[in-house]
Amino acid sequence: MPSKTVSAESGSTLQTIRNLWPYMWPAERPDLKLRVVQATVFLVLAKLVLMLVPYGFKWATDALDGEMKAPGWMPALLLGPVMLVVAYNVFRVAQAGLNQLRDALFASVGQNAVRQLAYKTFVHMHGLSLRFHLERRTGGLSRIIERGTKGIEAIVRFTILNTAPTILEFVLVAIIFGFVYGWQYVAVTAVTIYLYGWFTIRASDWRIQIRRDMNASDTDANTKAIDSLLNFETVKYFGNEDMEARRFDGAMAGYERAATKVWTSLGWLNFGQAFIFGVGMLAMMWLSARAVQAGEQTLGDFVFINAMLIQLSIPLNFIGFIYREIRQGLTDIEQMFDLLDVKPEVTDKPQAKDLVVRDGHIVFDDVKFAYDRQRPILKGISFKVPAGKSVAIVGPSGAGKSTISRLLYRFYDVQDGSITIDGQDVREVTQKSLRSSIGMVPQDTVLFNDSIRYNIRYGRIDASDAEVEQAAELAQIGDFIRSLPDGFDTMVGERGLKLSGGEKQRVAIARTILKAPPIQVLDEATSALDTATEQEIQQALDYVSEGRTTLVIAHRLSTVIGCDEIIVLKEGLIAERGTHADLLDQNGLYTQMWARQSEAIEAERKLREARETDEMGIVVRKRFPLPGDTGTPSGSDN
C-alpha cells in the first residue's frame, strides 16, 4: 500500500486520478497490474468493434440497394444482405461482451483501491489523538469513509470506465469522418459535442443546487418526524399532535416545492440536450443527403452517418449524470484525503523503545497541562505511586482527576514536567507497549455490540475460552452469565445496553483481569452505581488491584479508604495528601467532602429501608386486609 498521503484538489479530475493511480497500479500487486493492462486492451477493442457496428448497417444497406460489390477474391455470398445483417448484430454482441469483460477485469482493481484507502483511513483515525475524536462526531467520521469509498468507485467507474472510452469514441468518430467524409462533418460533430457538453454542465450545476435544497428539505422533514415520534409521550402529555403535524407538513411543503423544481429542471435539461443534438444531426444529415443526391455518397453512407450519430448520443445522454457523480466523488474523496492529512498530536519518537516494566513505580514530576492554553488544568503536580501500592486521586469536579489518567495513558503529552514508569519517560517509549502495560476500568464502560465472551476476551484476544470463563468467575459475574439462555454467547447490544451498569462494570473488570497488566488505573469505576452495587463491585476491584501498582481516580471517597495514600486535588494543585485517617485529622477539604458524602449515603440508606418497609406493609395488608382496605397505598402504581 502506498505510504505517501495524498491530497485531492477539488474540481481537478486529472489530479484526483493521479492521486489514485498508486492504488490503481499497486506496486506490490503484479496480478492487478496485469488486469489493468487486459482491461485497457478490451476497452480499445470494444471501441474499435463499436465503430464496425454502423459500418455493418452501412454495408447491409448498400447490399440491399445494389451498391455493394464484392471483390473478385471474395465470395459474393459473404457480402449478401443476410450475411451483412448477421455481421451487424455479431458486432453489437461482440462489443457488449468486450465491455463486460473490461468491467469484470477492472472490478477487482477498483475494489482493491477502495479497500486499501478505507483501511488506510481507518488505521489513521485510530492513530489520531483523543482531542481530535472528542472534537469530531464519530458518525461524521464514518460517513467520510463511507462517502470516500463510494467516491473512489464513482471516479473509477465514471472516469476510467465511461469518460475515457467515450473520449476514445469521439476521437475515432472524428478520424473516420475526417478521412472519409471531410472536415465539415468533423466541425459539425465537434461543435455539437462542445455545445452539448457546455449546456449539460451548466444545467447540471444549476440542478445540483436545486437538489441540495430538496435534500435539505427532506432531511428537515425526516428529522421533525423522527424527533416527534421519539418523543411520542411528551407530545401526548401536552396534546400537541396538531402542532407537530403542522411542523411536519411545513417541512414537506418545502420538499414539495424543491422536488417540483428538480423534475422541471430535468425536463428543461432533457429538452435542451435534445434540441442541441437535433440541430447537429440535422446539419450532418443535410450534408449527407446532398452528397447522396450528387452521387458522392451511397445510401449506405447516409445510414452510416445517422447510425454513428445515434451511437454517439448514448454516452452523451449520460454526461450530466457522469459529471454530477464525478463532481460529488471528487468532493467525497477530498474529504477523505483531508482526513488523512490530519497529523496525530501524540506520536512515537523515531527511536522509541518498548516500555520495560520491572516494578511499576510511577512518578509524576511537576506535571503541567492544559487542553486550552488559556485555561490550565494541572498546574505543577508531583506525586509517586510506589510499586505494588495504591494511590487515590480525589477532589471536586474539574480539579483534573481524569486528566491524570489520560496523561498516564498518553492520550495527551504533558506540556511541562514528566511522567515516568520505572524511570522511563512515557514520551520516550512506544504507545503500544505503554498501553499494554496498563489496565483500565473506566467510569462509563462501553461494550462492543457482540457477545459477552468477545467483550471479555478483548482484554487479551488470544485467550482461551477457559481463561475467559475464569476471568468472569474472578470478576464475580460467572453465575450471572451462566444463568442467561445463551451464556457467554449472549449478545450485549449496542454499547452494552442489554446489561445493567453493574453487569457492564463486571465485564470490564473481567477483561482487565484477563489482560493482567502490572499497572492498574481505576477511573471513577463505581461512581455511576448505587451504593449497594458499588460495595459488590468494590470486592472485584480489590482483587484486580491486589499486588499491582494502582492509581485510583475516585469521586466516592468510600472506595478509597484502603488506599496507601490519598491525594486531594483542588483547581489543578495538590491541596492535601495522606491516608484516610490522616486526612480526616487535618479537618480540611477531604473532611468536608467525606461529611457531605456520608450524609448522602445515610440518606440513601434510610430511603432504601423506608421502601423495603413500605413494600413489606403492602404484603401484610394484602394477606390480612382491614375492612375497607384495598391493600394498595394511596398514590402507588398498581
Q: Is the pLDDT of residue 2 over 50?
A: no
Percent over 90 (pLDDT), the chain: 5
Q: 25 to each of 41, 104, 107, 614, how far by Cα in Å?
A: 16, 17, 13, 76
Q: Residues near 535 by Cβ (< 8 Å), separated by ≥ 6?
A: none
Task: Report the first-to-last Cα separation within the chain, whole angstroms.
Answer: 65
Q: Mean pLDDT lowest for which of 175-189, 219-233, 428-442?
A: 219-233
Q: Is the pLDDT of residue 381 over 80?
A: yes
Q: Count the helices and strands in the chain (H runs, E runs).
A: 20, 10
Most confident of 26-35, 157-166, 577-586: 577-586
What would the grid cell of residue 36 be?
Answer: 489493468
pLDDT per position as a tens digit, 343-378: 877 788 888 898 898 888 999 999 999 887 778 888
pLDDT per position as a tens digit, 387-426: 888 899 988 877 888 888 889 988 888 889 999 999 899 9
| pTM, rounded to two decimals | 0.61
pLDDT per position as a tens digit, 554-573: 877 877 888 889 999 888 88
Mean local confidence (pLDDT), 462-474: 88
Q: Is the pLDDT of residue 620 over 50?
A: no
Across the chain, what does the average pLDDT equal? Answer: 78
Q: Residues near 365 by Cβ (< 8 Å), separated by ≥ 6?
A: 382, 417, 418, 419, 420
Q: How many CB atoms lie within 10 A of CB 500?
A: 13
Distance CA 472, CA 488 (A): 10
Q: Would you list the domain boundaries of the chain?
A: 13-340, 354-437+517-592, 448-508
pLDDT value of residue 604 = 61
Which H or E run includes 439? strand 438-441
Q: Based on the number of CB atoms within 10 Å of its own CB, is 541 exposed (0-12), middle (13-18) or buried (19 or more)? A: buried
In 3-state terms, what secondary structure has residue 633? Answer: coil
Q: Mean pLDDT lowest for which of 12-16, 123-127, 158-162, 582-586?
A: 12-16
Q: Whose CA is closest to 411, among 134, 120, 121, 124? A: 134
Q: Whose CA is closest to 170, among 318, 301, 311? A: 311
Confidence of residue 142 (pLDDT cuts 50, 70, 90): low
pLDDT per position as a tens digit, 44-82: 888 888 777 777 777 777 777 666 554 444 444 455 566
pLDDT value of residue 527 = 58
Indicate the Cα dihedral angle 126, 132, 137, 139, nearest 10°.
-20
Which H or E run includes 438? strand 438-441
Q: What single-letter DSSP state applies at residue 415?
A: S
Mean local confidence (pLDDT), 132-157: 66
Q: How many CB atoms lie within 10 A of CB 427?
A: 18
pLDDT per position as a tens digit, 29-45: 888 888 888 888 888 88
Mean local confidence (pLDDT), 254-272: 84
Distance CA 62, CA 81 (A): 8
Q: 318 to each of 155, 549, 623, how far by Cα in Å?
A: 15, 67, 81
Q: Is the pLDDT of residue 623 over 60?
A: no
Distance CA 338, CA 19 (A): 13
Compute φ and ψ for 371, nearest 5 degrees: -70, -35
Mean local confidence (pLDDT), 245-254: 85
pLDDT value of residue 4 = 43
CB 10 within 8 A of CB 328: no
Mean local confidence (pLDDT), 268-276: 86
Mean local confidence (pLDDT), 239-255: 84
Residue 629, CA atoms < 13 Å, CB-side half-sphere: 14
pLDDT per position as a tens digit, 295-313: 888 888 888 888 888 878 8
Q: Give the fold, CATH level 3, of 354-437+517-592.
A: Rossmann fold (3.40.50)
Helix axes 30-65, 81-127, angle to 10 degrees: 150
Q: Domain 13-340 has what CATH class?
A: mainly alpha
Distance CA 631, CA 360 (A): 61
Q: Mean pLDDT lowest for which of 111-125, 196-210, 487-501, 614-628?
A: 614-628
In which order are the strands placed within the sheet that holds 565-570?
A: 438-441, 519-523, 549-553, 390-394, 565-570, 573-578
> Under the phi-then-psi rule, with left for phi > 0, alpha for psi from -120 to 50, and beta for the rest, what region is 344?
beta
Distance CA 161, CA 46 (A): 12
Amino acid at position 111, single letter: Q
Amino acid at position 281, single letter: M
Helix axes 501-515, 531-545, angle to 10 degrees: 0
pLDDT per position as a tens digit, 470-527: 888 888 888 888 888 888 888 887 656 677 777 888 888 888 888 888 888 888 766 5
Distance CA 290, CA 280 (A): 16
Q: Whose CA is closest to 325, among 75, 151, 538, 138? A: 151
Which H or E run includes 568? strand 565-570
In 3-state terms, what secondary structure has residue 388? Answer: coil
pLDDT value of residue 140 = 54
* 3-state class percentages of the chain: helix first, strand second, coil last, to nearest 5: 65, 10, 25
Mean local confidence (pLDDT), 184-188: 87
Distance CA 219, CA 207 (A): 18
Percent over 70 (pLDDT), the chain: 80
Distance CA 495, CA 493 (A): 6
Q: Is the pLDDT of residue 601 over 80?
A: no
pLDDT value of residue 363 = 93
pLDDT value of residue 512 = 84
Cα 345 to its chain centre, rounded Å, is: 21
Q: Is the pLDDT of residue 166 over 60?
A: yes
Kindly write down the DSSP assignment for every residue of 137-175, as one continuous string: -HHHHHHHHHHHHHHHHHHIIIIIIIIHHHHHHHHHHHH
Distance CA 605, CA 4 (A): 62
What would the grid cell of residue 495 be?
Answer: 454499547
pLDDT value of residue 424 = 92
